[in-house]
Structure 1
Amino acid sequence: MKFESASLVEMHAFLAVCRTGSMRRAAEQLCVTQAAVSRAVSRLEAHLGHALFDRHAQGVLPNARALDLRQRVEGPVEALERAFGELKQPARERRRSLRLCAVPTLGMRWLMPRLGTFQLQHPGIDIQLLQSRRDEDFRREDVDVWIELKRPGVAWPRDISARYLIGRDITPFCQPNIARRLRTPANLLRETLLYHTNYPANWLMWFGAAGVESSRLKLGDGFDLAGNLIAAAVAGMGVAVIQPCLVERELNAGELVRPFPLEVSTGRGYHVCVRKGKRDSGLPGLFVDWIRREACRS
């Protein structure tokens, strides 16, 4: 049997936007991020095959199709919520918590904009985002799931199950005005090449894959934090080679562009890690499955 209905996550987001006339106010009402509401509405529109809102500077206005959909589904959705609320009433005080530890840069730039979607889908789960530790040894008892960068030559502990998530590949990014003067990858040798001080060989790796003879390679400014490296590229200080997943906001805003499509694997990347035996059960398994789906979509 083929199901034609949209998900409840999408319906709640749609109805909240109808009620408030704003993605931002809908997000506040649902206690999620504005981006999560926007993505849910976009998925619903793609599912139906047509737009539901007219976007303008003051907010969003439901069109005729949206008004018709709201009239049809608002009552049934509210009835479902009441039914499940009554059935789950005794368990409401037993909210579950998931303790998550993520590498700061990926956590702020890639994970945080998506956590609202997880909360929409699993409103009974509280996320505790804990501070990441340098040289994590996975012995902490206060963490259920880690998101860690694989370190070269360092094996994962035997009792840890690690699955690749995102961020293995690197490619150059720069301001649009810099990209306009780049005709071939070799042209990059004339630019200031910004780099992460922990991985100074990234440029050599990328030039090698691009077939560019790089004996004349001279690196520019170095940064020990990826966030500072990205900020330098946005400021026009040069061209940075970095993982695409870390610059989604800058790409969407047009602050950075990708001058060449070539992506090169570093063999590292971010991995989602849990203790063996927890991977496929309970909250850790639920979160791992969700975040890997998000990475695939990304």
Structure 2
Amino acid sequence: MMAVCRPDIAKRLKAPSDLAREKLLDVRHSPEDWPRWLAAAGLPDRARFQVVSFDFSAFAIQAALDGLGVALIRAPYIVADLREGRLVAPFPLAIEETQLRWRLIYRPEARSHAAFRTFRRWLLAKARAEA
């Protein structure tokens, strides 16, 4: 995950603390990403930053391309934008992606079925083994 923005915005950013003057473009399904990036940059207090949240990474990328702020994006999503210079990384800091989270959604009455409980135990064991 890397912070990216348009080159004109990057020129205003001399240090990560300068992000307090820009909007942080966030993706709702990954609310922990900016706090992790900011902490890695030595800025653990997210409260002093303005955050604009989007439902999808594509929207956050487009907002960054439109000059609305700085987005924290997975590099594979923006290879062409970086190569063409439409987006730049103003700081050499990147964080590892967090593990994907899965949820088992079921009706409450399913818990009373032995087959479901067996499946659930198996699924959880597989997930733990691969974590």
TM-score higher than 0.5 here?
A: yes
Which consecutive segments of 4 or more residues in structure 1 shift more than 4 A?
none
Whether 2:46 is the aligned partner of 1:203: answer no
Contact 1:195 1:219 in 2 (8 A): no
- Equivalent residue, structure 1, for 2:3: 172
1:192 CA displacement:
0.6
**1:129-152, Cα deviation, whole Å (9 max, x unpaired):** xxxxxxxxxxxxxxxxxxxxxxxx
- Using the size of structure 2 for normalisation, the TM-score is 0.70
- Using the size of structure 1 for normalisation, the TM-score is 0.32
1:251 aligned partner, one-letter code: L
Contact 2:82 2:88 in 1 (8 A): yes
1:246 CA displacement:
0.8
Give unpaired runs (5+ residues) of structure 2: 101-131
Whether 2:81 is the aligned partner of 1:250: answer yes
SS at match of 1:265: coil
SS at match of 2:48: coil
User: Higher strand share goes to which structure?
Assistant: 1
Contact 2:35 2:44 in 1 (8 A): no
1:226 CA displacement:
1.0
SS at match of 1:183: coil
- Equivalent residue, structure 2, for 1:237: 68
1:267 CA displacement:
2.5
Cα separation, 2, equivalents of 1:244 and 1:217: 26
Give unpaired runs (5+ residues) of structure 1: 1-169, 270-298
Tell me how many residue pairs correspond in the alignment.
100
1:182 aligned partner, one-letter code: L
Whether 2:17 is the aligned partner of 1:186: answer yes
Q: How does 1:2-41 map to 2 (within 5 A)?
A: none
Q: How does 1:1-298 map to 2 (within 5 A)?
A: 170-268=1-99
Give me the identity figure in percent: 36
1:215 CA displacement:
4.6
Cα separation, 2, equivalents of 1:198 and 1:213: 20
Cα separation, 1, equivalents of 2:20 and 2:98: 24
SS at match of 1:220: strand
1:171 aligned partner, one-letter code: M
1:238 aligned partner, one-letter code: G
- Equivalent residue, structure 1, for 2:121: none
Task: Indicate the structure whose relative CO is greater, using CA pairs within 8 Å and at least 6 residues apart.
Answer: 2
